[in-house]
């Protein structure tokens, strides 16, 4: 029976919404990713054929987009969707999408996309778990062109409310200078002392420019 001939409540999308994805067979889940079938074959039939042609779902999951695009009824757009879905599943299973801060360079790399290209100073807090896995990257304050604002209490509140146990702070200098100011150094000391008081690990404070970074010692 084709999908369009099924009662509406028995169709894959409606069953997933009503019962959850575990209620669906492999071919039905794949059919939802494909979105539609081809002339003479609906999405579920096409999905079943794809799995059969590759031997099993695991083999299909390992096929690259170019291989998939050559299969009957797929083409580049559907191949890209299928490859992307399997890649997301792999990343979710292995945790590859979780960035990790192992040192100052990692801290700068995580914060840089939120700091470069600005004409004013911004402070970013990078919240991590005990292993350095990034839980959240938060733009905390927006400062003037010649000074940054690093409110220690707000930094700690952000970390604790996120459930983090470690954190680092980064800010930019619109002038391009990587030389820490007196206030930058004072902020670093205040952050270090405050983190110790509440049992958090303060990883570092870095300055990020358009092309480089430096620690605030």
Mean pLDDT for 181-201 is 95
pLDDT band, residue 157 (cuts 50/70/90): very high
pLDDT at residue 1 tops 70: no
pLDDT band, residue 9 (cuts 50/70/90): low
Percent of the chain at pLDDT exceeding 70: 87
Question: Per residue in 183-215, is it b (16+ CB within 10 Å) or e — as a string?
Answer: ebeebbeebeeebeeeebebbbbbbbbeeebbe
pTM: 0.57
SS3 of residue 206 by DSSP: strand
Look at residue 96 in the predicted model and tell me its pLDDT. 45
Mean pLDDT for 5-33 is 80
Contact between residue 169 and residue 191 where contact means Cβ atoms under 8 Å apart = yes
Q: What domains sit in the chain, N to C, each tagged with a CATH number? A: 3-94 (1.10.150), 104-215 (3.40.140.10)
Mean pLDDT for 176-203 is 95
pLDDT at residue 80 tops 80: yes
Condensed to tens digits (0 to 9), the pLDDT of residues 27-70 reads 888 888 888 766 667 788 888 888 888 888 888 887 778 888 88
Mean pLDDT for 186-213 is 96
Determine whether 145 is exposed, middle or buried from the number of CB atoms within 10 Å of its CB (0-12, 13-18, 19+).
exposed
pLDDT at residue 144 tops 80: no
């Amino acid at each position: 029976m084709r999908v369009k001939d099924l009662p509406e409540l028995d169709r894959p999308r409606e069953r997933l919404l009503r019962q959850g994805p575990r209620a669906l067979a492999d071919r039905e889940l794949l059919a939802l990713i494909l979105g539609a079938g081809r002339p003479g074959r609906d999405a579920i039939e096409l999905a079943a054929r794809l799995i059969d042609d590759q031997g099993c779902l695991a083999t299909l999951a390992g096929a690259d987009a170019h291989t998939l695009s050559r299969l009957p009824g797929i083409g580049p757009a559907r191949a890209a969707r299928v490859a992307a879905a399997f890649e997301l599943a792999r990343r979710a299973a292995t945790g590859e999408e979780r960035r990790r801060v192992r040192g100052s360079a990692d801290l700068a790399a995580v914060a840089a996309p939120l700091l470069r290209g600005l004409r004013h100073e911004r402070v970013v807090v990078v919240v991590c778990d005990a292993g350095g896995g990034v839980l959240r990257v938060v733009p905390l304050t927006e400062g003037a062109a010649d000074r940054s604002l690093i409110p220690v209490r707000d930094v700690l509140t952000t970390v604790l409310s996120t459930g983090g146990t470690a954190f680092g702070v980064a800010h930019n200098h619109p002038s391009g200078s990587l030389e820490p100011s007196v206030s930058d150094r004072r902020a670093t000391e205040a952050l270090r002392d405050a983190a110790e008081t509440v049992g958090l690990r303060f990883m570092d404070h870095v300055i990020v420019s358009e092309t480089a970074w430096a620690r605030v010692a």
